[in-house]
Amino acid sequence: MENMKRFSALHYRDFRLFWFGQLISLSGTWMQSVAQGWLVYSLTKSPFYLGLVAAAGSLPILLFTLAGGIVADRFRKRNLLLMTQALSIIPALVLGILTDINLIAVWHVALMATLLGSINAFDIPARQAFLVEMVGKSNLTNAIALNSAAFNSARMIGPVIAGMTISYIGLPGCFYLNAFSFIAVIIALSKINIRGEIKESSKGFIRDFIEGIQFIKREPEIYRIILLIAVFSFVGLPYITFLPVFAVEVLRAGPKGLGFLVSAAGTGALTAALSLAFKGDIKYKDRFMSISALCFSFTLFAFSLSKNFYLSMVILIFVGWGIVSFLATANSFIQLSVPDSLRGRAMSVYAIVFLGTAPLGNSLIGILADSVGTTRAVSISATICIIASIVFSVKISKV
């Protein structure tokens, strides 16, 4: 009974529907992510193009997510999510068909990544802000942790299936399966009751935009967290984009190995998310964020030096644990610190620094990898993350 209380968000029917739909859909998304990386590397043999395509998918998030947050504050979030999930089927189908008929080119992949990124710019803030409508503030931390668990379960399952699918069926199968997986979350959303207030009054698009930014700047603890997330997104998280290079050139593991590397990081991430969901809440969030940020940074540096496939898998488990422990706790801290009327915009700022700075980071690390080598580029990135984590830990300990 005590364990059920720890997973209290699952007591809500709507959240259960949403959670299981997400698990299926996100597994497909991770399949496509691995397949897309393998496709780009197969076409170009260049880490620069891996970074470029990843940047194409992330740039719209940087440009449009604040607008997505304003839309999430003004309209019913469930209806907005139904629209974004339906539209997300299009890029997957197009990539599957073009790859199937051997007409695929790198610019097609970049274009579809841009389209999906534009859809996600409206999907992400609505998805994050929707959680509190389903479970209430008292269960929000639990819902965030369980949502992260679904994401990282998919991150563990999807890449392994993708590696097997690429090896035995072919790349198009990954894209078709992803397109089909969106149907699960669409069905789940259609059965969820509409609730929650929408913003009736508005000061205008620009003023609504500025209001969200000003709130973040007025809160020093939130501002400090946002800055560290920006550093991790800019130079730390791009390591995922370059895993095909590690799988082929450094570890000699092929597409199956790539799937297992991504899944190893997903295993650590899932462990972090389930631990947070089981605990229910973290009493000393600042201390926990410091520890998890340092864990991510130092283990990423260790991964960049590893030449052994199995050791790399073990290290990636700790990389995944560190980043998800930090991000899930940061997400909870921010959501519980903002008024309801600003939650969509606050989460759009979170999404911008988490995902929107990635285009610059992926491009920069791609150029750096072409110049000095991928392993050295990731080592440099990890060093920057270590410095930022230490500064964050020192600053937050003085509060």
Let me know if residue 3 belongs to a domain.
no
Residue 124 has pLDDT above 50, yes or no: yes
Give the residue, 68 or 195, on which the prediction is more confident.
68
Confidence band of 76 (pLDDT split at 50, 70, 90):
confident
In a domain, 60, yes or no: yes
The per-residue pLDDT for range 281-334, each reduced to its tens digit, is: 666 777 889 999 999 999 999 999 999 999 999 999 999 999 989 988 888 788
Is 98 within the bounds of a domain? yes
Q: Contact 253/247 with Cβ under 8 angstroms? A: yes
String of b and e for 72-97 (b: at least 16 CB within 10 Å)?
A: bbebbbbebbbbbbebbbebbebbbe
In a domain, 296, yes or no: yes
In a domain, 43, yes or no: yes
3-state secondary structure of 172: helix
pLDDT at 209 over 70: no
Whole domain around residue 293: which residue ranges?
A: 9-192+204-397
Is 4 domain-assigned?
Answer: no
* CA pair distance 265, 231, nearest whole angstrom: 19
Q: How far is CA 302 from the centre of its chain?
A: 22
Identify whether 1 is part of a domain.
no
Q: What is the CATH number of the domain that holds 151?
A: 1.20.1250.20
Q: Is the pTM of this model over 0.85?
A: no
**DSSP string over 212-245:** HHHHHHH-HHHHHHHHHHHHIIIIIGGGGGGHHH
Q: Is the pLDDT of residue 18 over 60?
A: yes
pLDDT of residue 377: 92
Average pLDDT over residues 109-130: 90
Q: Give the pLDDT mean for 115-122.
A: 91
CB 361 within 8 A of CB 237: yes
Q: Give the other-Cβ count within 10 Å of 360's Cβ.
A: 17
Q: Closest Cα partner for 265 from 151, 113, 125, 349?
A: 151
Arithmetic mean of pLDDT, 32-61: 85
Tens digit of each residue's pLDDT (9 = 90 or more) over 26-37: 889 888 988 998
Round to whole Å and give the CA distance between 374 and 49: 13
Q: Which of 22-36, 138-152, 344-358 has the highest mean pLDDT?
A: 22-36
Q: Is residue 295 part of a domain?
A: yes
Domain count, the chain: 1
* Average pLDDT of the chain, as a whole number: 84
